[in-house]
Structure 1
């Protein structure tokens, strides 16, 4: 049995709704998964093009939210640590990162993760990630269907507690 390569990034419906609100105000958007400096390890939301994507940054996915979608980027070295994990962008109450566009909304984007299965990792081996330089040349990821999940638990199931 062959497994279709999954998307490397998803977004919850609640986060997509906030993203649509922000798009109405700011136009095209992008995410860059922060590496843990000033704003921790958060998905930072910027107007598309306001964050300079490096040649070695990795495009995880283009979320199917709004016109043209929303690209999700991560630095190459951080991708090496996360490459076995599907990133799920969710939203929770609280103050977002100082530079991220959701900061004034009283909500903040949050990264959740799910480890890919061995079959998914094999499928992903056949779809190498797109770097910033490849994106600049016009490379785009294969369409992996919708990137919106109803709840984070739909993508990252919480294991049932053991009864002892």
Structure 2
């Protein structure tokens, strides 16, 4: 069993495609709450510097998704589900002027998923 740490709704995946057509390859970083709250931030790939303390969670719509290590420690027991809703996005995020914005939802992992993740971590 492979467990995704981050997924996206169909609506979010369609919005990612729209932004990719306008801006090229993208990347995401889950905001830690500064400036634009705790929204997932969308950037043109390479426009946001990933640091040693950022954790790669996986891809959504073929685009990498990162989170700071400190924040990851808080959220590691949940799967992030990236959705899109009406409203203005963050001023630093590419979704800002689009009238729609990304939103992070989450759910707790099941016991089976937690066990599979532990096996995966020990294998690496």
Under a length normalisation based on structure 2, what TM-score does the superposition of the two structures give?
0.94
Question: Which of 15, 26, 29 is matched with 2:26 structurally?
Answer: 29
The correspondence of residues 15-164 of structure 1 with structure 2, limited to 5 A, is: 15-63=12-60, 65=61, 69-128=62-121
Higher-strand-fraction structure: 2
Alpha-carbon distance in 2 for matches of 1:34, 1:16: 19
Under a length normalisation based on structure 1, what TM-score does the superposition of the two structures give?
0.72
2:79 aligned counterpart, secondary structure = strand
Alpha-carbon distance in 2 for matches of 1:57, 1:101: 20
Higher-helix-fraction structure: 2
Q: 1:127 to 1:56 in 2, by over 3 A?
A: farther
Alpha-carbon distance in 1 for matches of 2:120, 2:50: 21
CA RMSD of superposed structures (Å): 0.9
Alpha-carbon distance in 1 for matches of 2:19, 2:73: 30
4+ residue stretches of structure 1 with deviation over 2 A? Answer: none
- Pairs aligned (count): 121
Instruction: Quote the offset at 1:119 in angstroms.
Output: 1.4
Instruction: Quote the offset at 1:37 in angstroms.
Output: 1.1
Alpha-carbon distance in 1 for matches of 2:64, 2:53: 15
1:99 aligned counterpart, secondary structure = coil
Instruction: Quote the offset at 1:125 in angstroms.
Output: 1.5
2:14 aligned counterpart, secondary structure = helix
Match in the other structure for 1:143: none
1:126 aligned counterpart, secondary structure = helix
